[in-house]
A and B are shown apart, each in its own frame.
Chain A
Amino acid sequence: MSASDGRDPALRIVVDLNRCQGYAQCCYAAPGAFVLRGHEILFYDPSPPAHRRGEIERAVLACPVRAIAVQTAADEEDVA
């Protein structure tokens, strides 16, 4: 997993791992971006490619503890 290469601009996500309790619903909803290791360690791609948007939104909705935050728009330009 790594930052996207520019052809497919990346989404940005962050998971509040204080909240996360390892229910793994995101791993089923967006297998390309989330994976559970051991009993409850969540590993995720913080910059998944934009074409995974649908999956990521499913993961956000399926999370039983609402731990996933996502920015779907590109970074704002600096305000002059």
Chain B
Amino acid sequence: MSAAELAGIVVVGASLAGLRGAEALRRGGYEGPLTIVGAEPHRPYDRPPLSKHVLAGELAADATGLPALAPLRARWRLGQPTVGLDRADRIVRLADGTRLAYDRLLVATGAEARPWPAPTGGTLTGVFTLRGRDDAAALRAALAAGPRRVLIVGAGLIGCEAASCCRDLGLAVTVVDPNPTPLARSLGTGIGGVIAACLRDAGVAFRPGTQVRAFEGDGAGHVVRARFADGGAIEADLVIAALGATRATGWLAGAGLRADAGGLTCDAACRALAADGTPCPDIYAAGDVARWPIPVYGGRLVSVEHWGNAVEQAGHAARNMLAGPDDQRPYAHLPAYWSSQFGINIKAVGLTDGADSVAVVQGSRASRRFLAVYGRAGQTIAAVSFDQARWLPAYADAILAGRPFPPIRDATDRARPESLAPGFPSPRAVSADEFAHA
């Protein structure tokens, strides 16, 4: 075995979180060697445009490179999946056999699209997932070839954004989801119903309460049909499996860390936890892959698969990596995300998990411009805006302050909130937006 390369601080994941973490290390005064490892051959790129402008053909997939906002002076190891971690010797192993000896490690490997199982059609051509830049380029090319009908499985954010793009391209598209409305798991059916109406108006065939059992192919192995659990079927020559994501922790198997498909568990300071629950002083995690106790929600373990978390958590983890053991600050973050689809800008703050009440506090669902808030046990926990982003900071403040639900009455455009049934599916129903997108 060749000698390990002395790699200094190693950032695993040439992602948004990896990049921002590396920048924060340099800004924080770290002068030693810095190595950034990426499974894909690309420098860090921005994912949100992939399911929107790249699919629509407005932006080339390779135009989404992220700016570096500080001099990194880094050694890049791109196109090199990380295959193992040896904590005792502080070694990260790459697919080509390279062994990197790290002083400290920042895990920012993110997540992977949940694939459709091979036995029920996952290996047919024409069945796509959408996560990385290459996925987006391949899917874009397939959409541009003019499929007769696109079938999207899963009406989460990615599924809905893809459906919106398909309609902009004039393609026939069907969306299926086991829940009664799109975005049911993240926003509830009361708000999801607004998206269902948008899908309908845009000419998307939406089939709620539907589960796909299998895809069937033609002689050449190209998908032609989907079979539903209820016995029905639909002809489709292009399928997008938008089933959410699993955390990219496979390479940590056997490393003695608390890692599984739901993430790498960390303490409040973003330090990875060993199997016995003690934090590793030299291993931190940030972004989609990190599962950490979120202070705003009582320290519940969450992993937040959103752009803003990748940026903020990476900066925070990097700060703690450079600080002494007595100066490890807890990561306090209020999750937030955006999505644009069917001409509407959707923005949300907070986590809706466990919401027992929902109210429209500004605007109206009928106008598709409104603000809705979510409550649990009398406390405000989340808010979503449809084309009303300028008010959202007031609700973010209310969530952080633990204000009662609803936090605001007497709004200029709605003196009284309109209460809705929360409409969250039971936890057992499998849904695409179980894991929201980044």
Contact = CB atoms under 8 A, between A and B. Distances in A.
On whether A and B touch (CB less than 8 Å), the answer reads yes
Interface of A: 1-3, 10-14, 16-18, 20-22, 37-41, 43, 45-47, 69-71, 75-76, 78-80
A71 B68 contact: yes
A21 B63 contact: no
Given A18-B337, A21-B389, A38-B344, A69 B67 contact: yes
Interface of B: 33-34, 43, 46, 48-49, 53, 58-60, 62-69, 71-76, 307-308, 311, 336-338, 340, 343-345, 347, 369, 387, 389-390
Nearest to A80: B75
A46 B63 CA distance: 6
A1 B311 contact: no
Nearest to B341: A41
A45 to B, nearest CB: 7
Contacts of B62: 3
A1 B67 contact: no
Contacts, number: 90
A12 B343 contact: no
Nearest to B35: A79
A5 to B, nearest CB: 11
19 contacts: A1-B59, A2-B60, A3-B60, A13-B67, A18-B336, A18-B338, A20-B389, A22-B389, A37-B340, A38-B343, A39-B345, A40-B387, A40-B389, A46-B63, A46-B66, A71-B67, A78-B74, A78-B75, A79-B73
Contacts of A14: 46, 66-67
A71 B67 CA distance: 5
Contact of A46 (B65, B75, B307, B336): B65
B57 to A, nearest CB: 10
Contacts of A69: 67, 69
Nearest to A22: B389
Contacts of B340: 37, 41
Contact of A21 (B58, B66, B73, B390): B390
In the complex, the 3 A-B pairs of residues with the closest C-beta atoms, listed nearest first = A71-B67, A12-B67, A3-B63
